[in-house]
Amino acid sequence: MAGVTDRPFRMLCKRLGAGHAVSEMVTSRPELRDSLKTSRRLNHDGETAPIAVQIAGTEPAMMAEAARYNIDRGAQIIDINMGCPAKKVCKAWAGSALMQNETLALAIVEAVVAACQPHGVPVTLKMRTGWCDAVRNAPTLARAAEQAGVAMLTVHGRTRTQGYAGRAEHRTVAAIKAEVKVPVVANGDIDSPEAAQAVLHATGADAVMIGRAAQGRPWLFREVAHYLATGHTLAPPSAAELQRWMTEHLHDHYQLYGEYAGVRSARKHVGWYARSLPQGQELRRAFNQLDSAEAQLQALAAHFERWAQPWPLAA
């Protein structure tokens, strides 16, 4: 979710029902801390607590220093990334590639926990079920991580070699939940309130994590929360709500990235939103041609003015 779950998007998701939102993956390499990309990822201005920062790397000492560095800049939870399947991350033996080396993975966990304990900052761990079908070692790593002091485990129900192909399996999550005492979070293919309830029932997990399904649909969090609390489906957002949320998101986005970069990176977010909007592809095509924040905001307002009545929200 790097490039997606930046501060503006996280803040919107929290306003719309997400109980917890983790930062984009932040490198542990100190020489990259002053880069524009990393500085934006470390910007938590106005973000509501708890502020959780996910770090990635391959060297225990460097990961420990990255944890301290982020704590000094407001992190209240440190999350270790052992789940990213991206080739450029795994090529450097970070992310889910660490699951191939259990000794190194555990050394990183121990170093980060030791760095965070004096500050009273909990450490969480995100991982996959394993590197490949033949090596589903998440339960082994989960037990070791719990012993090392990890406060919560999140498991995506695919191996690294699966990427995002096929369907997530949650049997491994259920097995981990049965063996550890710390909270366990299930992740993978949770794209509806019904799916969230089914995964919780099947795994016994303490919570679910939603990633890709929230792209362009951040109101999914409030739908899930409502369904789990009441057993009833929440009515779809109104046109006025959608316009307000999208407009607020764009304003926050431009503020973080500046107009030049913000206008260009906003296009992907509006493209995802467009999947839920009447004539959304028409908006996406027009929006992608615009080179100023003012023009993009005007295009969005015009689209809602045109399509607000009637308002058949797409599934």
Active site residues: 84
The tokens of 166 are what? 């096929």
- Please give the Cα distance from 140 to 143 (Å, whole number): 5
The tokens of 125 are what? 């761990």
8-state DSSP, 145: H
- Please give the Cα distance from 157 to 162 (Å, whole number): 10
In this structure, are residues 37 and 297 in contact, taking their beta carbons and an 8 Å threshold? no
Q: What angle do CA 30, 31, 34 make, to 5 degrees?
A: 90
Within 13 Å, how many C-alpha atoms sit on residue 261's CB side?
10
Q: Encode 55-70: b = buried (16+ Cβ within 10 Å), e = exposed.
A: bbbbbbebbbbbbbbb
Helix axes 280-287, 239-274, angle to 10 degrees: 70
Distances (CA, A) of 63 to 100, 113, 119, 292: 18, 10, 16, 39
Closest of 208, 251, 301, 309 to residue 11, by C-alpha:
251
DSSP 299-312: HHHHHHHHHSSS--
- Please give the Cα distance from 169 to 32 (Å, whole number): 36
